[in-house]
């Protein structure tokens, strides 16, 4: 099976499992839900949608390092770009959508379908890393060392540390 077909299969499984996790619990009898989990779920929804839109609206890559950028870290993305915080904001957004579905439905079927979907999104991100290392080489490997793939908190901390090293004074 070719790499393209494998990726298509992973995308299909991820999408189908997200739809199943959202729709199937609603088709069955209503399940009692904890309102605090639903509220947290809506908060996570805002973060997820923000990450997805940030990845759509942001230029994916820059060929030339921006002035003031940490050249040891990356010549791949701009310092102010979402990609300076995490490598895969869209994939993280989709992973969080699975969490949101589980929190809003609070049904065992949602968990049953969401976990394989989340695993597929994770595998997609790993394959994307391998593809980009092959395409961009050592520059992307340095970028991978400085910018986490899916950990938003670690990415924000690393970005703040890089900026602190480059502040005049």
- The mean predicted confidence, pLDDT, of the chain is 85
In this model, does residue 66 exceed pLDDT 90? no
pLDDT value at residue 9: 92
pLDDT of 72 higher than 60:
no
The pLDDT value recorded for residue 144 is: 92
User: Taking 70 as the threshold, does the pLDDT of residue 74 lie above it?
Assistant: no
Predicted model pTM? 0.82
pLDDT per residue over 100-142, tens digit each?
A: 999 999 999 999 999 999 999 999 999 999 999 999 999 999 9
Binned at pLDDT 50, 70 and 90, residue 167 comes out as confident
Q: Which of 7, 9, 15, 13 is nearest to 124 (CA)?
A: 7
pLDDT of res. 78: 47
For residue 20, give the nearest of 124, 94, 89, 117 by alpha carbon. 117
Give the span between the Cα atoms of 132 and 28, in whole angstroms: 43
CA–CA separation, 92 vs 11, rounded Å?
14
Give the pLDDT of residue 99: 97
Q: Quote the pLDDT of residue 75.
A: 52
The contacts found for 75-81 with CB under 8 angstroms, 24 or more apart, are 75/139, 75/142, 75/143, 76/136, 76/139, 76/140, 76/143, 77/143, 77/147, 79/162, 79/163
More confident residue, 59 or 169: 59
Q: Which pLDDT score is estimated for 60?
A: 59
Q: What pLDDT score does 114 carry?
A: 96
Task: Note the pLDDT of residue 79.
Answer: 55
């Amino acid at each position: 099976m070719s790499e393209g077909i494998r990726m298509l299969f992973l995308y299909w499984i991820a999408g189908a499992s997200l739809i199943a996790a959202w729709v199937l619990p609603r088709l069955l009898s209503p399940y009692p839900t904890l309102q605090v989990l639903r509220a947290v779920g809506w908060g996570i929804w805002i973060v997820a949608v923000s990450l997805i839109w940030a990845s759509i609206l942001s230029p994916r890559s820059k060929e030339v390092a921006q002035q003031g950028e940490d050249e040891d870290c990356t010549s791949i993305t701009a310092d102010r770009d979402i990609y300076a915080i995490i490598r895969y904001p869209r994939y993280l957004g989709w992973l969080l959508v699975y969490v949101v579905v589980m929190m809003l439905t609070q049904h065992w079927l949602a968990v049953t379908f969401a976990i394989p979907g989340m695993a597929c999104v994770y595998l997609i991100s790993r394959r994307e890393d391998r593809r980009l290392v092959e395409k961009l080489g050592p520059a992307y490997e340095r970028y991978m060392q400085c910018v986490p793939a899916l950990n938003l908190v670690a990415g924000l901390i690393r970005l703040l540390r890089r900026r602190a090293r480059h502040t005049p004074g």
